[in-house]
Amino acid sequence: MFNNPIPKGQVLCIHAEPVHACKPERERTNTNFTDLIPANQVGDLNNKSLFAAELRDNLLSYSRKWAEQNPNFLQLLPYVVLIDQATKKILTYKRGKEGSEARLHDLRSIGFGGHIDSVDDYATLQDFRYDFDNVIAKNVARELEEETGFDISTENFLASAYFKGLLVSDSPDIKEVGHFHLGLLFVLEVDSSQVTKTNEVNVIDKMAWLTYDEVVQLNLAPWSKVAEVQAGYHFNKA
């Protein structure tokens, strides 16, 4: 099974139950039901820590159409916040009407990334499990180039990105996008002059570099609300 080729159109998933079991216990005080399982609990995604090993060793692949209707499985989705090295501004954008997630249309976001599907040189689930961090880095490099024009090698991403943890939702609204996805949150400092333009017009709309204080005033998508807090910790502002 694990050495069979992953069919075209399938995405990487993991069982939801062990993920939800690791969520922090806290009283709900607002309408954002997204939590962060912090990096120090997850560990290096390619090391021997219990949760990271469970995440890596229980990878599955299903059609995206099926996975989008089954909350018992979470689709893996890297979510990268870009911060300009010089100005410390954060790259923001508006979710366009042609984006695949209708639930996020018209909301502002600070996270870039996409589903993990077929990646060059990684054709089977065993391949993905054996080299999980490089699989993620290759996916991120592809998505950043498509969405922002920013070019980064897998080696540079792994060396410079800050892994902040896992984004997971327990919203009572079954239509909420987090019900079906597990976010891998990263913060990456870049040279903003190398972020050119999106190749996904009408999906990534109105990109703008904003200060942290400006970002906290935005109507952000649920994952971006949590990512904004982590960006604040990155600046020692939150």
More confident residue, 36 or 120: 36
SS3 220: strand
Say how many C-beta atoms besides its own lie within 10 A of residue 76's C-beta. 23
Q: What DSSP state is assigned to residue 23?
A: S
pLDDT tens-digit map of 177-205? 677 899 999 999 999 999 987 777 677 88
SS3 119: strand
Question: How is domain 10-234 classified at the CATH fold level?
Answer: Nucleoside Triphosphate Pyrophosphohydrolase (3.90.79)
Q: Residue ranges per domain, the chain? A: 10-234
- As a whole-number percent, the residues of the chain with pLDDT over 90 amount to 32
- 51: part of which helix (H) or strand (E)? helix 50-57
Q: Cβ contacts of residue 33 below 8 Å, gap of 6+?
A: 169, 170, 171, 172, 176, 178, 222
Q: What is the pTM of this model?
A: 0.86
Q: How far apart are CA 174 and CA 38, in angstroms?
A: 24
Residue 160 has pLDDT above 50, yes or no: yes
Could you give the C-alpha distances from 63 to 97, 172, 208, in angstroms and in order?
23, 24, 34
- Count CA atoms within 13 Å of residue 54 on its CB side: 14
pLDDT, position 227: 93
